[in-house]
């Protein structure tokens, strides 16, 4: 098997699976219980927070855990906007966000919030001048994705944060860093970001656990009410084994992120060159290979339906996505590809190859040959 769908989810690392198993068997207590077993469980959560906090270069107390990236994004955006409502009702995001942000914004719009969407260029970069021009007296929150999950564009978060904070330091700056966490260096406290979301299953951790960095003095309305865990921001008995798994996954990715150049760039280059060598009219969607995220490569094969290509690859035990996993079941073309202005026929043939630290060069050298064979098989059937 060659797994090239790691932007959708990654293969759980063995150390992570072992740590989760051990935690399920050994960690008996409820972290809220007052006895020793409860305290031990609570200490494990604190330790996990420290591991995440060290990766982000922030304090342990600024991390909370949620049921994943979607919940963390909702808490940041909906919880942040509701908490700041009395100061204004204008919120800003981009056209290239994940549905967990776009739908949270749509929900806020129904509640009377006014939204500005920042447009993007043909490679997916936001227009910083438009961001500047969109800021108003009543702007209370800005949410920008760090790495787009479909085409891998890396947004200029430092500049965007500077623009927002120069307008008013009271505007909440949220970054969906779910695709970049553990892959690119982004330190929220140093950058001035107030809220930053992450998710375990994109870095070889388990599904259904993620979290949020919350900067000092940032107030949020909680969305889940109950026993008051996580400082009242996220009630519910903590998913301890998931949290342990997340921390173990962070330990696995930490040495990679310390390197000057992410080692996945080399893999991405091999993959892309192997395909371009065999399919002459293949084209890259979004940023150039070394400019985009190290693990995401979107390519179109004109005339070839993306789903047909996906299943042809699947038959050869190679797993990829058409566009983003969450939107790929819908018949329409991806809104991300539409927003970067890709012609419909090119968008319909877009395949997302996505890598992880577990892929090897040897797996990737031969992908072009296989894709080339499939293109040659399918091309005669194209209706002209
Ligand atoms: C950019 C981005 N944001 C949010 C999410 C949602 O995260 P989760 O799957 O942990 O809910 C994903 C995952 O698909 C993502 O890629």
Final residue before a domain boundary, out of 208, 234, 257? 257
Average pLDDT over residues 293-307: 96
CA 375 to chain CA centroid, nearest Å: 30
Same-domain status, 243 and 351: no
Q: Which atom of ligand 1 is nearest to the CA of 97?
A: 1
Same-domain status, 182 and 55: yes
Q: Which atom of ligand 1 is nearest to the CA of 200?
A: 10
Same-domain status, 296 and 201: no
What pTM, to 2 d.p., does this model score?
A: 0.97
Ligand 1, from 96, 102, 178, 335: best to mutate by most atoms within 8 Å of Cβ? Answer: 178
Same-domain status, 247 and 269: no
Final residue before a domain boundary, out of 219, 234, 257? 257
Q: Is the dihedral of CA 289, 203, 315, 325 positive or negative?
A: negative
Q: Which atom of ligand 1 is nearest to the CA of 199?
A: 10
pLDDT digits (tens, 9 = 90+) for 209-226: 999 999 999 999 999 999
Q: What pLDDT is recorded for position 379? A: 82
Same-domain status, 284 and 230: no
Average pLDDT, the chain: 96
Distance 212 CA to ligand 1 centre (A): 13
Same-domain status, 311 and 266: yes
353 pLDDT above the threshold of 80: yes
Same-domain status, 284 and 206: no
Q: What pLDDT is recorded for position 380? A: 74
CATH code, 168: 3.40.640.10
Q: What pLDDT is recorded for position 331? A: 57
Residue nearest to atom 5 of ligand 1 (CA): 69
Distance 177 CA to ligand 1 centre (A): 9
Q: Which atom of ligand 1 is nearest to the CA of 210?
A: 10
Same-domain status, 79 and 113: yes
- State the Rg of the chain over Cα: 21
Ligand 1, from 76, 105, 149, 298: best to mutate by most atoms within 8 Å of Cβ? Answer: 149
CATH code, 354: 3.90.1150.10
**In which domain, by residue range, is 93 found?**
14-257
Average pLDDT over residues 61-67: 98
Same-domain status, 82 and 52: yes
Same-domain status, 282 and 195: no
Burial 208-225 (b: 16+ CB within 10 A, else e): bbbbbbbbeebebebbbe
384 pLDDT above the threshold of 50: no
Question: In the structure, which protein residues have their CB atom closer than 6 angstroms to any atom of ligand 1?
Answer: 68-70, 73, 98, 100, 145, 149, 176, 178-179, 199, 201, 210, 326
pLDDT above 70: percentage of residues in the chain: 97
Q: Contact, 115 vs 138, CB < 8 A?
A: no
pLDDT digits (tens, 9 = 90+) for 108-149: 999 999 999 999 999 999 999 999 999 999 999 999 999 999
Q: What pLDDT is recorded for position 330? A: 57
Same-domain status, 236 and 123: yes
Q: Annotated active-site positions, please?
A: 326
Q: How many structural domains are present in the chain?
A: 2
229 pLDDT above the threshold of 60: yes
Final residue before a domain boundary, out of 257, 276, 304? 257
Query: Could you report how far apart the first and last alpha carbons of the chain are, in Å?
Result: 35
Average pLDDT over residues 331-351: 91
328 pLDDT above the threshold of 60: no
Q: What pLDDT is recorded for position 382? A: 63
pLDDT digits (tens, 9 = 90+) for 156-203: 999 999 999 999 999 999 999 999 999 999 999 999 999 999 999 999
76 phi/psi in degrees, rounded to 5 = -65, -50
Pairing of strands 139-145, 90-94: parallel
Report the run of H or E that residue 257 belongs to, with start and end. Answer: helix 240-257
Same-domain status, 249 and 205: yes
Beta bridge partners of 91: 115, 141
């Amino acid at each position: 098997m060659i797994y090239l769908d790691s932007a959708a989810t990654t293969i759980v690392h063995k150390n992570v699976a072992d740590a989760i198993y051990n935690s399920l068997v050994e960690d008996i207590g409820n972290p809220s219980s007052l006895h020793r077993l409860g305290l031990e469980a609570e200490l494990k959560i604190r330790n996990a927070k420290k591991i995440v906090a060290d990766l982000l270069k922030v304090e342990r107390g600024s991390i909370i855990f949620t049921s994943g990236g979607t919940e963390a994004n909702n808490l940041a955006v909906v919880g942040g906007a509701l908490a700041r409502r009395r100061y204004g009702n204008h919120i800003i995001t981009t056209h290239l966000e994940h549905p967990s942000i776009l739908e949270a914004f749509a929900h806020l719009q129904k509640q009377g919030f006014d939204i500005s969407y920042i447009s993007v260029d043909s490679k997916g970069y936001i227009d910083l001048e438009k961001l500047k021009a969109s800021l108003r007296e009543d702007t209370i929150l800005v949410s920008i994705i760090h790495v787009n999950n479909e085409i891998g564009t890396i947004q200029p978060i430092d500049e965007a944060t500077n623009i927002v904070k120069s307008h008013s330091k009271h505007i909440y700056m949220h970054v969906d860093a779910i695709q970049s966490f553990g892959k690119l260096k982004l330190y929220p406290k140093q950058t001035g970001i107030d809220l930053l979301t992450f998710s375990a299953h994109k870095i070889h951790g388990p599904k259904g656990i993620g979290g949020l960095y919350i900067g000092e003095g940032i107030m949020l309305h909680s969305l889940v009410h109950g026993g008051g865990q996580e400082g009242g921001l996220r009630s519910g008995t903590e998913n301890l084994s998931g949290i342990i798994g997340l921390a173990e996954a962070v330990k696995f990715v930490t040495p990679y992120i310390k390197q000057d150049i992410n080692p996945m760039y080399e893999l991405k280059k091999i993959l892309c060159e192997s395909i371009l060598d065999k399919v002459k009219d293949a084209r890259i969607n979004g940023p150039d290979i070394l400019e985009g995220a190290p693990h995401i490569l979107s390519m179109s094969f004109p005339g070839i339906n993306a789903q047909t290509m996906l299943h042809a690859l699947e038959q050869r035990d190679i797993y990829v996505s058409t566009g983003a996993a969450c939107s790929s079941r819908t018949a329409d073309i991806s809104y991300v590809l539409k927003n970067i202005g890709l012609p419909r026929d090119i968008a319909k043939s877009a395949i997302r190859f996505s890598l992880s630290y577990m892929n090897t060069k040897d797996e990737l050298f031969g992908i072009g040959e296989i894709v080339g064979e499939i293109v040659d098989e399918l091309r005669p059937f194209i209706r002209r």
